[in-house]
């Protein structure tokens, strides 16, 4: 039987590994890898390993292989939903009904309007404090994301600056974390030779 045709993105990944160069292949490889990594992250989360579903983990695994604009649109964290309390709402309704019987009703054993009101107020205060903390966490998270974005930009520009001053085939460029042009050519030739020998 004829073999099924592989997706273009998968072929692109193969092309990258055997040393074939080209923008179309690189774009296909990035899309393919991003989809595979994201599927693995979400799959692990569904099987109970929730730590893999954290924003930090997703960003660490996806960001290097996907365009920043696409990453921002699909993976920027949403503000945390504020907590509500169903029992607080129903208790307020019941309190109003009990007060209609007697505003100072006291059935003994701590069953009084005053105790009931105090318990309701305690939940309301705790809930408001909790939601305030969530808002602060969202604010701090946005602050961290903004600072990370600035650092990422500076990180890339530092390497570009070294390249502009010393060239992309210089020792200085390699020291700054770049791969020298001559080294890239050697790797590409080695990859082409290995494919030819197969």
Distances (CA, A) of 51 to 6, 40, 47, 63, 140: 33, 13, 11, 18, 20
pLDDT for position 49:
47
Whether residue 127 is found in the same domain as residue 59: no
Residue 51 lies in a domain: yes
In this predicted structure, the answer to whether residue 64 has a pLDDT above a threshold of 60 is no
Q: What pLDDT sits at residue 51?
A: 43
Mean pLDDT, rounded, for 59-88 = 65
Q: What are phi and psi of 29, to 5 degrees?
A: -65, -45
pLDDT tens digits, 153-179: 999 999 999 999 999 999 999 999 998
- Are residues 8 and 57 located together in one domain of the fold? yes
Residues 99 and 70 in one domain: no
pLDDT of the residue at 40: 64
Measure the N-to-C terminal CA separation of the chain; round to a whole number of Å: 24
Asked if residue 132 is part of any domain, the answer here is yes
Residue 155 lies in a domain: no
Between these two residues, 52 and 193, which has the higher pLDDT value?
193
> Could you tell me if 46 and 11 lie in one domain?
yes
DSSP secondary structure string for all residues of 80-132: PPPP--HHHHHHHHHHHHHHHH-TT-B-STT-BHHHHHHHHHHHHHHHHHHHH
Residue-range definition of the domain harbouring residue 15: 1-76
29 shares its domain with 87: no
Q: Who contacts 171 (Cβ-Cβ below 8 Å, separation ≥6)?
A: none
Same domain, 3 and 56: yes
93 vs 74: which has the higher pLDDT: 93
72 and 48 part of one domain:
yes
- Segment 82-126, tens digit of pLDDT: 888 999 999 999 999 999 999 999 999 989 999 999 999 999 999
**88 and 126 fall within a common domain:** yes
CA angle 58–150–132, rounded 5-degree value: 65
Domain count, the chain: 2
The answer on 82 and 44 residing in a single domain is no
In a domain, 10, yes or no: yes
Whole-number percent of the chain with pLDDT over 90: 42
Q: Is residue 189 part of a domain?
A: no
pLDDT of residue 99: 92
Together in a domain, 114 and 98: yes
Q: Are 28 and 11 in contact (CB under 8 A)?
A: yes
Please check whether residues 14 and 53 belong to one and the same domain.
Answer: yes
Do 85 and 58 reside in the same domain of the chain? Answer: no
Mean pLDDT (the chain, rounded): 74
Cβ atoms of residues 17 and 191 within 8 Å: yes
């Amino acid at each position: 039987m004829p073999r099924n045709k592989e997706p273009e993105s998968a072929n692109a990944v193969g092309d990258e590994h055997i040393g074939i160069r080209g923008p179309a292949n690189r774009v296909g490889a990035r899309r393919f890898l991003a989809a595979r990594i994201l599927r693995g992250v979400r799959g692990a989360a569904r099987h109970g390993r929730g730590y893999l579903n954290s924003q930090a983990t997703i960003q660490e695994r996806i960001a290097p292989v996907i365009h920043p604009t696409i990453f921002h649109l699909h993976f920027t964290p949403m503000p945390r939903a504020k907590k509500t309390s169903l029992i607080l709402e129903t208790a307020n309704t019941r309190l109003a009904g009990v007060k209609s019987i007697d505003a100072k009703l006291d059935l003994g054993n701590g069953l009084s309007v005053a105790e009931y009101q105090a318990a309701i107020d305690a939940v309301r205060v705790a809930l408001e404090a909790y939601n305030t903390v969530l808002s602060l966490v969202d604010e701090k998270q946005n602050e961290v994301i903004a600072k990370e974005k600035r650092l990422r930009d500076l990180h890339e520009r530092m390497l570009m600056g070294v390249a502009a001053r010393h060239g992309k085939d210089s020792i200085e460029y390699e020291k700054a974390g770049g791969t020298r042009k001559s080294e890239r050519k050697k790797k590409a030739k080695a990859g082409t030779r290995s494919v030819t020998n197969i």
